[in-house]
Structures are given as structure tokens and as C-alpha cells.
Amino acid sequence: MNIYKVGGAVRDRLLELPVADIDWVVVGASAEQLLALGYRPVGADFPVFIHPTTGAEYALARTERKTGRGYGGFVFHASPDVTLEEDLQRRDLTINAMAEDDTGRIIDPYGGQQDLQQRWLRHVSPSFAEDPLRVLRVARFAARYAALGFRIAPETLELMRALSASGELEALTPERSWKEISRALMEPAPQVFFEVLKACGALGVLFPELDALYASSASGLAQLSLATLRQAAVAEQPLTVRWASLLLRLEAQGIAALNQRFKVPRDCQELAQLAGQYQRQALQDDAPSPEALLGLLQAFDVYRRPQRFEEFVTACEMAVRAENGPRLTKGAWLREAAAAARAVPVKPLVDAGFTGQALGEALRQRRLEALQNMQPL
């Protein structure tokens, strides 16, 4: 049997980028042989194994054939007679379809090295169109390597267009989609991911609420959303802030629909929903009344979830930066308000005998006073 490094590890080494995890492919071996050597199978029907000591992933060389709609509609053929070239051919992009043997020799049957040098994201074969997830993967690689000058080959973009128009994208499970989307959001240029989806028609299928902004009468809202996301990436903000920054300008309904479509994790959902609902109060110039300010702090439950309010203010700051504003004038003031409201102690009220609803009302009153005593904006 022969074992090769494949995929991202080969690509990123050639790009002189740090290699995070290594994928291996095993040629000329059977599952039984690997099991006898102590490799553990990752699943019953999938020819991928975990190395007994390193924990790295080893896949038997395989070919794939599409038999039906969606991700379930694949059959794998893994056997000792599948060649390395055959295995590499089922991969998405030429730059991901290279292997490296233990002497450091590169096996590159599909021109990956040339595309790497010339900065092309190009599909390997027409079977690219068999897995709609590849539309998201290519957009994600475009977002990751944008600063290096990578762009999508016209013929690959054409296939992505056809895939987006075919209805196949709808067959992606929320989990698979979100995995790619969340990884794309964390890339250095996440706005490029959405620009690519727009360019190939996938945005209208997967993010119709965002796509509608391109047609909306409020001109430039779509660009502004992407610019806000871009600022969040420049500031190296976490996933929650990036998701909320992207959706800040959507109606509550649109945000809820997107959250549900991709079964977005709760912390991302909540921040996006609340931020969309309350962004105007942070972004408009005038100061809210102490009552409105308290309402805002309560909505975010700033007492138990101070981080969430902080992330809201940050997302609003990204929106101001996206519009070339110097800063969110209210940012420091909102943070001060949160600190003032949170500083109101509960214990004296409890000691004074307040309980239940009366305690809540007394606490509200003290917090309101704390806000009224703040320096005006």
C-alpha cells in the first residue's frame, strides 16, 4: 500500500501557509488491512479511518458516482484497485487535487500547481456539478484566498451558475450549509463569499432575504451589509458578531428566516435577531430617553449576558465604519449605560424585604435612576 498527503495540506504547503490538519489517502489497501493494522473506522459505510496513534484521518482511495438527488445520492467505490489519479479526480478544485508522497514529490495530474501559481480556483472535472456543496466550498476558498489574488475560473463559475439554477442547492441540509457558511464567515474576506454567491445566482436561493436588498429601493443596502461584515472581519470579530453584522439591516422576519433555514446556533441567532431589532437606537444620532435606554438594556438581558450587549455595540460600530463614519458616537455611552445599570446592587433590596414582582419593580426603578444620573450624550 502507498500513503499520500492530499488536499489542503499539500495546497497550503505550496502556498507557504501554515498547515492545520493533514488528510491522507491510502492507495492499494483494503478496509480489512487497515483494520488489522489498528485503524479505527469513522463510520460503517464510509472508507475513512483514524490512525491508531496520531488520530489523523486516512481515507481509502475511492471513486464516487452520483445516483440521486442531494447528498444521500452518492455511492462510493473504494477498493485496492482504485488509483491515486482516480481518487484525485473526484475532488472539487485542481488546487485541492494534488498529492504528496513521503519523499515530498508532488503528484499533480490536473494542473493544480499551475493554477496555484496563476491564482485560479478551477474545477477538476464535470462531475463537479454532482455535489451542490461545492458552490459554497469554492465561494469559501475565494473568501479565504482573496488577498492572494485568487479568482474563480470562468468555466467553473459557469458550472456554479448551472448548479444554482438547477434546484440542487435546495437539497443541501441545514447542517452542511451552515458548516460552510460559518467557516466562510470566519475567513479573512468573508464578504467575497457572498459576492461569489451573488455572481453565480446562489444568493437568491440560499439567502433570498439578503439578495432582496440588491433590488430594494434603499440603494446600497446590500453593499453596506457586506461592507459591515468586512469591517467585522478586519477587526477579527467572532462568528456571532460577523453573522449579526451581515444581517443588521434586514427586517426581523428576514433574520428569523435565515436563522431557521440554516439551524444557526443559538448564540448567533439571538445576537442577530436582537441586533437587527435594536440597531436603529444605537445608530441614530439622538439619545434615547432613560426609559428607552433601560428597555434596550433589558432586551439584551445585560445583567446576565453582558457579553451579548457588548457584541451588539460592536456590530453597530462595524456598521458605522462601513459607512466611513469615524466611530459610533454612542458606543462608549452605551457601554457606560450597561455598566451603570449592571452596577445597581440587588442585595440591599432583598435585605429590605423586596421579593418577586416588587423586587423587579424596585430594581427597575434604581436602574432607571442610575441611567438618569449619567452624563448626557
Residue 325: C-alpha distances to residues 277, 316, 318, 343, 361 (Å): 21, 11, 10, 31, 39
| 10 vs 293, beta carbon nearer Mg ion | 10
Residue type for 295, please? G
Q: Is 96 in the site for ligand ATP (CB under 6 A)?
A: yes
Which residue, 120 or 141, is less far from Mg ion as judged by CB?
141
Of 91, 123, 198, 230, the residue at the interface with ligand ATP (CB under 6 A) is: 91
User: Does residue 133 belong to the site contacting ligand ATP (CB under 6 A)?
Assistant: yes
Q: Is 112 in the site for ligand ATP (CB under 6 A)?
A: no
Measured CA to CA, the distance from residue 314 to residue 318 in angstroms comes to 6
Q: Is 122 an interacting residue with respect to ligand ATP (CB under 6 A)?
A: no
Q: Closest distance between ligand ATP and the C-beta of residue 6, in Å?
A: 6
Closer Cβ to ligand ATP, 15 or 377, answer by number: 15
246 binds, among Mg ion, ligand ATP, none (CB under 5 to 8 A by kind): none
Task: Compute CA distances 272 → 51, 226, 255, 256, 263, whole Å.
Answer: 40, 15, 7, 9, 13
Name which position in 23, 108, 115, 168 contacts ligand ATP (CB under 6 A): 23
Shortest approach of ligand ATP to residue 97 CB, angstroms? 6
Would you list the DSSP string of 123-162? Answer: BSSGGGGG-THHHHHHHHHHHHHGGGT-EE-HHHHHHHHH
Binding-residue total with ligand ATP (CB under 6 A): 11
Print burial letters for 71-91: b (CB count within 10 Å at least 16), e (below 16). eeeeebebeeebebeebbbbb
Q: How many Å separate Cα 20 from the centre of its chain?
A: 18
Contacted entry of Mg ion, ligand ATP, none for residue 244, CB cut-off 5 to 8 Å set by kind: none
Listed in sequence order, the DSSP H helices in 188-346 are 190-200, 203-206, 208-215, 221-234, 239-247, 252-261, 266-283, 290-299, 306-322, 331-342
Q: Which stretch binds ligand ATP (CB under 6 A): 90-98, 161-169, 321-329, 359-367?
A: 90-98
Q: Which residue is nearest to ligand ATP (CB)?
A: 8
Give the residue, chosen from 62, 122, 123, 134, that forms a contact with ligand ATP under the rule CB under 6 A.
Answer: 134
State the helix-helix crossing angle for 266-283 and 290-299, rounded to 10 degrees.
Answer: 170
Nearer to ligand ATP, 74 or 278 (CB): 74
If one asks whether residue 187 binds ligand ATP (CB under 6 A), the answer comes out as no
Closer CB to Mg ion, 61 or 222, in the complex: 61
Binding mask 39-78 for ligand ATP (x = CB under 6 A): ----------------------------------------
Q: 1 and 33 in contact (C-beta within 8 Å)? A: yes
Q: Is the torsion defined by CA of 302, 304, 310, 316 positive or negative?
A: negative
Interacting residues with Mg ion (CB under 5 A) = 8
> Quick one: which of 237, 133, 153, 225 has its CA closest to 188?
237
Rounded to whole angstroms, how far apart are CA atoms 154 and 95? 16
CB of 63 to ligand ATP, least distance (A): 12
Q: Give me the least distance between CB of 271 and ligand ATP, in Å please.
A: 25
| Residue ranges binding ligand ATP (CB under 6 A) | 7-8, 23, 91-92, 96-97, 131, 133-134, 137
